[in-house]
Amino acid sequence: MSERTRGKRVREASRRHFLQTSAALASGSALAGLAGTNALAEPNNNLPPNVPEWMKAPGDPMGSQPYGAPSVHERGVVKNISKTLQQYISASGRTPLQELDGIITPNGLFYERHHGGVPTIDPAEHRLMLHGMVDRPLLFTMEDIRRFPSQSRIHFIECSGNPVYTKPYGKTASDLVGLVSCAEWTGVPLKTVLDEAGLRAGAKWIVAEGADAAALTRSIPIEKCLDDAMLVYSQNGERLRPQQGYPLRLLLPGFEGNMNVKWLRRLKVVAEPAYSREETSKYTDPLPDGTAREFSFYMEAKSIITRPSGGQRLTTKGFCEISGLAWSGHGTIKRVEVSVDGGNSWRDAELQEPVLTRALTRFRYPWHWDGTQAVIQSRAIDETGYVQPTLAELVAVRGLNSFYHNNAIWPWRIDASGEVSNAQA
């Protein structure tokens, strides 16, 4: 019997056991047993068979929440903002990955990274300049941009410093790789706008500039601009939030987050890259031989188990579904493998639909925890055949001077009490 066939049979047996257990708990005899407990005999108790307090009076009218808000019981699910790193002009806030389901990140929890604070821009006064090596230099209002035929596509954006190579690595999935999020983006293909202006012979790069106080500037290969790049004005069905580049940002699916320039105000078509601060002194990778990786645009295949993960606790032995996220800037995720024995053996996880190119992909693996210490981890394989490396493998090639593009496997340790912690710490 092959390893893959054996893995499928184990997962199917796990599912059957889980469904049988769930059915037993939902049966009348199980509920009857619960009804006889002392806790349920107490007056005004909210557990069955009593009538809970929230059924005894009308709830809050809709008019008090003109913009929907989460339940008060979810008030702890917020962006992870470091209490030790000063958040002034250059700031960041991480997505609480371990608290989320599916693949879409709510707008209020989408990670942030900015270099000159968040500008307050009046969309009526915002303009996009397109100039340089074009036949017709153009100046667009936001109304002009929205008149072009639009598209909506689901893609992730990830900061290339997610996470850094050196300790301290962090306790939770958010601490480690919370600088990644995924959304449905709506806007105009950049190619459509470039066709309107007409590219001249010799045009090889486009220099994009943001309207923040840092005037963040990045050089983008013309091939990417003519492929799947977009000028985005909406996220998850509503206009971009200021932290995400309102009223207009660049979207470069699969490229490092810093290149997806927010508050986009200028596109200059040129023959050579600008060699700006963000592509020389920053966002390059010093290597052990004294050279540096430059213009390493693509975010390589990565995955992380988000449940169970650091800061969480298993309360009972038995069935435990392992769940997490995988993504790759080079296309779709083809497989995710999970190990529950510290990397000694690996089994295929199930990929949850939809599985989209350059988007977060949710994976699941059925597991029975026996109550003893275990180390769990995942590794992603994308459509190119690239396999996510261990941290040791990555460091052996790039050394410890690099700050960016760490896509290493991240293991979690579960101790006998069920507490989950970072196994690399």
Terminal-residue alpha carbon distance, the chain: 38
Q: Looking at residues 137-151, what average pLDDT do you find? A: 98
Helix (H), strand (E) at residue 380: strand 374-382
Strands 347-348 vs 333-339: parallel, antiparallel or unpaired = antiparallel
Q: 188 burial class (0-12, 13-18, 19+ CB within 10 angstroms)? A: buried
Provide the 10 A C-beta neighbour count for residue 52. 11
Top-level class of domain 302-422: mainly beta
Beta strands in 236-373 (DSSP E): 238-239, 249-251, 264-270, 285-286, 292-293, 302-307, 318-327, 333-339, 347-348, 350-351, 361-369
Going by pLDDT thresholds of 50, 70 and 90, the confidence category of residue 390 is very high
Find how far residue 368's CA is from the centre of its chain. 27
Three-class secondary structure of residue 280 per DSSP: coil
- Confirm if 368 and 396 have CB atoms less than 8 A apart: no
Estimate the crossing angle of helix 3-26 against helix 28-35, to 10 degrees.
50
Q: What is the pLDDT of residue 91?
A: 87
Q: Where are the beta strands (DSSP E) in 171-279?
A: 180-189, 205-210, 217-221, 230-235, 238-239, 249-251, 264-270
* Assigned superfamily of 91-290: Oxidoreductase, molybdopterin-binding domain (3.90.420.10)
Cβ atoms of residues 94 and 113 within 8 Å: no
Q: What is the mean pLDDT of the chain?
A: 90
Mean pLDDT across 163-173: 85
Q: What gap in Å lies between CA 386 and CA 12, rounded to an integer?
A: 28
- At residue 59, the pLDDT reads 85
Mean pLDDT for the stretch of residues 126-133 = 98
- Please give the model's pTM, rounded to 2 decimal places: 0.88
Predicted confidence (pLDDT) per residue in 51-101, tens digit: 898 888 988 887 677 898 899 999 999 999 987 766 667 789 999 999 999
Average pLDDT of 353-369? 98
Cα distance between residue 210 and residue 382, in whole Å? 32
Task: Give dist(CA 236, CA 107) in Å, integer.
Answer: 7
**pLDDT range class, residue 44, cuts 50, 70, 90:** low
Of the two residues 287 and 192, the one the predictor is more confident about is 192
Which tokens in the block code for residue 179? 């600088």
Confidence of residue 402 (pLDDT cuts 50, 70, 90): confident
User: Percent of the chain at pLDDT above 70?
Assistant: 88
**How is the chain split into domains, by residue range?**
91-290, 302-422
- pLDDT category at 400 given cuts 50, 70, 90 is confident
Q: What share of the chain is helix, strand, coil (3-state, %, to 5)?
A: 20, 30, 50
Measure the CA–CA gap between 115 and 213, rounded to whole angstroms: 8
- pLDDT at position 141 is 98
Angle at 408 between CA 406 and CA 413, to 5 degrees: 130
**pLDDT confidence band for 8 (50 / 70 / 90):** low
Tokens read off for 74 = 């979810």
Q: Is the pLDDT of residue 29 over 70?
A: no
CA distance 27 to 29: 6
Look-up: residue for tokens 């989460």? 70
Can you tell me the distance from the alpha carbon of 198 to that of 226, in angstroms, rounded to the nearest whole number? Answer: 12
Residue 27 has pLDDT above 70, yes or no: no
Closest Cα partner for 343 from 424, 398, 404, 418? 424
Tallying the residues shown for the chain, one arrives at 425
Other C-beta atoms within 10 Å of 181: how many? 26
367-376 per-position pLDDT tens digit: 999 999 999 9
Compute the distance between CA of residue 4 and CA of residue 61 in angstroms, rounded to an integer.
Answer: 53
The answer to whether 337 and 346 are in contact (CB under 8 A) is yes
**Average pLDDT estimate for 106-131:** 96
Lowest mean pLDDT, pick from 110-124, 231-245, 284-298, 351-365: 284-298
Does this chain's domain 91-290 share its CATH topology with 302-422?
no
